[in-house]
Amino acid sequence: MRIAVFASGSGSNFAAILQAIREDWLTDTEVALLVCDKPGAHVIDRADAYGVPTFVFQPKQYADKAEFEKEILARLREAGVELIVLAGYMRLIGETLLQAYGGRIINIHPSLLPSFAGKDAIGQAFRYGVKITGITVHFVDEGMDTGPIIAQCALPIHEDDTEQSLAERIHEEEHILLPQVIQAIVNRTVRIESRKVTII
Ligand code: GRF
């Protein structure tokens, strides 16, 4: 399956997907395109290092979201992309992409949704004082981190954790869970009935 990864920042999840493919525990998958809305983001260097084609754009140079999403859509189609993986893409997906790729867009979020949606989820959970947090991979709908949940992984917050040490553990787990979910989708074992997602 040809996939596109959308990212805005460091791209450690992007690299984890590429590494999983290289190490052969994510199979039958090719990262056909990186889409990045932040020229200069580190994820672009990572894509170059892995030889992944990129589409980098400046949202401000377009009239509105529909305009840049039309351009993204053309690139996705050109690259034969079947699945979009949002991994640190700091924007809501608009109607243009949702209509074309509805049910074929997933996102990774660093909390146990529906708790701590939106930005800085790790900091939100840490400051709130919850004892357990985690990671969620979900289908994307028009809301902010609201789509049907595919998989979650819980992590305890230890008394001696700092926000930094918690973030490190969360990222380690993300780098395992996201390739696993992609594999399940590639294997076509993911079923969705209203909000309930099962992996058969
Ligand atoms: C991850 O924590 C992901 O869950 C969130 O954004 C972060 C991206 O990190 N959506 P990276 O760019 O993959 O390192």
What are the pLDDT tens digits along the chain (200 aa)?
999 999 999 999 999 999 999 999 999 999 999 999 999 999 999 999 999 999 999 999 999 999 999 999 999 999 999 999 999 999 999 999 999 999 999 999 999 999 999 999 999 999 999 999 999 999 999 999 999 999 999 999 999 999 999 999 999 999 999 999 999 999 999 999 989 999 99
How much is the pLDDT for 119?
97
**CB distance 13 to ligand 1 below 6 Å:** yes
Q: Mean pLDDT across the chain, nearest whole number?
A: 98
CA–centroid distance, residue 164 to ligand 1 (Å): 14
The number of domains in the chain is: 1
Residue 109 annotated among the catalytic residues of the structure? yes
The structure tokens listed for 171 are 């990222």
Name which residue sits closest to atom 7 of ligand 1, judged by CA.
Answer: 88
pLDDT tens digits for range 143-174? 999 999 999 999 999 999 999 999 999 999 99
What range defines the domain where residue 25 resides?
Answer: 2-199
Element (H, E) at 73: helix 65-78
What is the rounded CA–CA span in Å between residue 64 and residue 7? Answer: 19
Strand 190-193 to strand 149-156: parallel, antiparallel, or no bridges (unpaired)?
Answer: unpaired
> What pTM was computed for the model?
0.98
CATH code assigned at 89: 3.40.50.170
CA distances from 42 to 8, 10, 35, 96 (A): 9, 5, 13, 27
**CB distance 152 to ligand 1 below 6 Å:** no
